[in-house]
Structure 1
Amino acid sequence: MSNEPDWSQWREANRAMWDERVPIHAASEMYDQDAFRDGKNTICPFEEEEIGDVTGKRLLHLQCHMGQDTLSWARRGAAKVVGLDFSAPAIATAQGLAEDIGIGRDRAEFVVSDVYQAPLAVPDADYDIVYTGIGALDWLPDIWKWAETAASLVAPGGFLYVAEFHPFTHVLGWENGTEILEDYFKSEPMVTDAPGTYTDFEARTVNNVSFERAHTLGDIVTAISAAGLRLEFLHEHDFTLFRRFAGLVPGEHGFLTTPQGKPNLPLMFSLKASRPAA
C-alpha cells in the first residue's frame, strides 16, 4: 500500500474551479489578451532583471495558466519554452495565443499535466531555467514534493526561479494590512467556497470550492535546498501585483505598496536556486 497522501479531492476541486474560470480570465481586462497579441510583455521588471538574458535558453514554466508569461519569455529570446498546467482549457487558450502571435510549436509547447507529474509530461528531461510565476505555490498541497519535482527538471548549470506573494500576507487582515488575524504556521488547508474570481469578483460561477496551503518562507527555501539546489538569492519586496489589503496605494511599474509614512510590509519574494554545472 502506498504511503502517498490522497490529494484527489484537493486536485479535482481546484481543477474544476480553474477550468471554469479560464474563459472569464481570458476575456478580462486584467489579462488583456488583445494587448498581449499586440506585443504587451507580462513579465515583471524585477523578474527580467533577476533572471537576466534568456536568449538561447530552454525554459520550463510550471503552473503556467494561460501561458502569457511563458510566451513573453519566448518573445524575449528563449530558444524553447514549455508551459505546463493541469487545466486543459488553460492550455488550449495558451496554444491559441501562441498561434495568434506566430510562435510555432518548435519554440513554444504546452502540456496538460499535474505539476507533480511534470517529469513524465514535458518533452525534455531538463531545462536551463525552471520558472514558477506569481500566484502558484499556494495551490500546492506538498511543497517538499514540488521542490523535488522542480529541482529534478533543472539542467546542470541551470536554475530554478520563483516569484511569489509573500506568505506573511496570509496572516494580515484586509482592512489595513496591520492586524494579525491568522496563524502563520498553519498546517491545515485553507478551504474557500465563494463565487467569482480575482478578475471579476461578481462573476457567476458554479465550481467554487478550492483548496490552498500557506507554505512558510522557511519551508519553501528549505525544501528547495533539500532537493539539491544551491540558493543564489532570496529577495523580499515591499510591493505586490494585487490589492491584497485595502490600504495599498499605486507605486512604480503598476505595483501596489503601503502608503508613505506607513510601515513597509513584505508583500512578495523572489528566489533563484541553481544546479552546479556537470
Structure 2
Amino acid sequence: MNDYVAINRANWDERAPAHADSPDYEFDQFINDPEHLSGVVRFDRPRLGDLTGLRAVHLQCHIGTDTVSLARLGATMSGLDFSEAALEQARRLAAGTNSTIDFRHAEVYDAVEVFGRESFDLVYTGIGALVWLPDVARWARVVADLLRPGGRLFIREGHPMLHALDETADPPVLHYPYFETADPVIFEQAGTYVQTDTTFTHALTHTWSHGLGETITALLAAGMRLTGLTEHDSVPWQAIPGHMTRDETGEWRLTHHPERLAASYTLQAVKE
C-alpha cells in the first residue's frame, strides 16, 4: 500500500462517524423526508437531467449522501470508497432511507477491477474528491473504462484556483500549487469541515491539485468528449473562513467581489 493511501485512509476512517453524526450531512433529514437531496446534488439538479433507469457509480462516495440523492432521482446506484468506516455509515444511511445501493470498498484506481469494464451509463464524482488522487490522467482512464460507449461523466469539484490559496492568510494569498505535482501537499489539521465536537488524533493528509486544463486534457486523452463546463463563484463549505458568506441554498462565496474567485466547477464529458 502506498503511504499516501494509508495516511489519508486513517484520516477519513476517523472522521466518517463524526461526519455522519454532524447536522451538516443531514442524515435525519434524509431519513425523515423521502424527497430530501444533498446540497451538492440540489445545486447541480438542472444540469444532471433525467437519471431514470441509468446505471450509475459514485466514485469516492464517502458516507453516501450524494449517492442516496442520485438514487432518489431514479438511478440504479453503486458507490465506491477506500474507507470502510465511511461505507459503514453509507450503508446505514441507505438502510435508513430504504435505498438499494451496491457499496464497494476499494481505491478509486481499482474501480474497473471491482465493477468491470463498460458497466455504467453514468460516473459521478462529488465535490472534494480529486484532490486525494496523485494522477488525474490515471483517474480519467478509469472513468472511461467504467463507462459504456455514450456514457457520461458528471463531476462537481473545488476549483484549482481556490486550492492554490492559503486560506489562513489575511487576506488569502497564492501559496499552493495550481498544477499537478509529483510530490503531495502535506497538511496537518486536527479538525474537519463540518460541525462536530469530536477530537481527532489523525491529522495528517496528502493531497494534490489538478489544473482545470490538466483534467480536461486527461479526459480527452482517455477518449472522452467534453460536453459541459461551468465555473462557479461558490462552494458548499466555508473554504476561506472570515471572508465568505453563506446563501439560502447553503453555498458559500466571497463576501466582497465574489466574481474575482472561481471557487468550483461542474464538468460533463461523454465517452465516444
Q: What is the aligned partner in structure 2 of residue 214 from structure 1?
A: 209
Work out whether 1:65 is the aligned partner of 2:62. yes
Structure 1 residues 1-278: aligned runs within 5 Å: 8-39=2-33, 40-42=36-38, 43-78=40-75, 80-104=76-100, 108-122=101-115, 125-174=118-167, 175=169, 179-185=173-179, 187=181, 188-200=183-195, 203-245=198-240, 246-259=242-255, 261=257, 263-276=259-272
Q: State the superposition RMSD in angstroms.
A: 1.9
Specify whether residues 46 and 263 from structure 1 end up closer, same or farther in structure 2 by C-alpha distance, changes over 3 A only.
Answer: closer
Specify the SS of the correspondent of 1:44.
helix
> How many equivalent pairs are there?
266
Specify the SS of the correspondent of 1:138.
helix
Specify whether residues 164 and 194 from structure 1 end up closer, same or farther in structure 2 by C-alpha distance, changes over 3 A only.
Answer: same
CA distance in 2, matches of 1:45, 1:97: 18
TM-score (structure 1 length as normaliser)? 0.89
Q: Between the two proteins, what is the percent identity of the paired residues? A: 36
Q: Does the aligned pair in 2 maintain the 1:195–1:202 contact within 8 Å?
A: no
Q: What runs of 5+ residues in structure 1 fail to find an aligned partner?
A: 1-6
TM-score (structure 2 length as normaliser)? 0.91
Q: What runs of 5+ residues in structure 2 fail to find an aligned partner?
A: none
Q: Residue type of the partner of 1:62?
A: L
Specify whether residues 186 and 67 from structure 1 end up closer, same or farther in structure 2 by C-alpha distance, changes over 3 A only.
Answer: closer
Q: Residue type of the partner of 2:201?
A: V
CA distance in 1, matches of 2:89, 2:215: 30
- Give, in angstroms, the shift of residue 10 of structure 1: 0.4
CA distance in 1, matches of 2:171, 2:106: 36
